[in-house]
Amino acid sequence: MKLVIKNMVSLRCKLIVRSELEKMHLHCIVVELGEVEIEEELSAAQWSTLLAGLLKFGLELMEDKKSILIEKIKGIIIEMIHYSEEPPVQNFSAFLSEKLNYDYNYLSSLFSEVKGTTIANFIIAHKIERAKELLVYNELSLTQIAEKLHYSSVAHLSNQFKKVTGLTPTFFKKMKYKRLIALEDI
C-alpha cells in the first residue's frame, strides 16, 4: 500500500515515519520524501493511529488525489535541489511530466491553483534556500554554489538571491545570525 505524507521534506522526517510505522509493526518497502510504501493494507483503526502519530511531528497522511499530486511535485523538487548530487535537470517541465505521467500544463495549473505560486517560483525559492544553506556551511565558493545549483552564472544566482531575500549572497554570508527557513515552510 502506498501512502502519501504531507510535509515529509527531510531525512529526519523519513526516520520519524519509519519509526511510527515500526511502532505499529508495519513493514516498509520504500520510504521516500513524501511517499511510503508498506506491505500491509491499513485498517481504519490503523489509519487513525498512524495519522495521530504523524500529526505529533507536523506530518499528515494525504487522501485527496489532487493534494497527493501536489505533494509528489513538491517532493520531487525538494529531492532534486536539496538531496541529489546530480545537477538539477535542464528541462524540469519534461522531467516532471515524465516522472508523474501527467501533462505539465495540468501539473502547473493545479500547483498554482492549490499553492498560490508557480512551480518555477517554488523551484527558485528552494534553490535560494539551498544556496543559503551552502553559504552557512562555508565550504563552497559562490561560483561553486552557482554551478551546483545549475545557475548560468554567479550574477544570475546573485540577482535571484537578492530578489528573494533582499540581501546579496556576500552580505548574507557575513551576517552573524543567518536565518534559514524550514523546507516545509517554503
Tens digits of per-residue pLDDT, 62-119?
A: 888 898 899 999 999 998 898 887 765 668 898 899 999 999 999 999 999 999 999 9
Fold of 2-62: Alpha-Beta Plaits (3.30.70)
CATH superfamily of 65-186: Homeodomain-like (1.10.10.60)
Radius of gyration of the chain (CA): 18
pLDDT surpasses 80 at 177: no
Please state, in angstroms and rounded to a whole number, the distance separating the CA atoms of residues 61 and 9: 14
Residue 173: the pLDDT is 86
Percent of the chain topping pLDDT 70: 96
Could you give the angle at the alpha carbon of 165 between the alpha carbons of 109 and 167, nearest 5°? 150
Q: Is there a shared CATH topology between the 2-62 domain and the 65-186 domain?
A: no
Q: Full-prediction pTM beyond 0.85?
A: no
Model pLDDT, residue 37: 94
pLDDT (0 to 100) of residue 112? 95
pLDDT higher than 90, residue 163: yes
- CA–CA gap between residue 118 and residue 122 (Å, rounded): 6
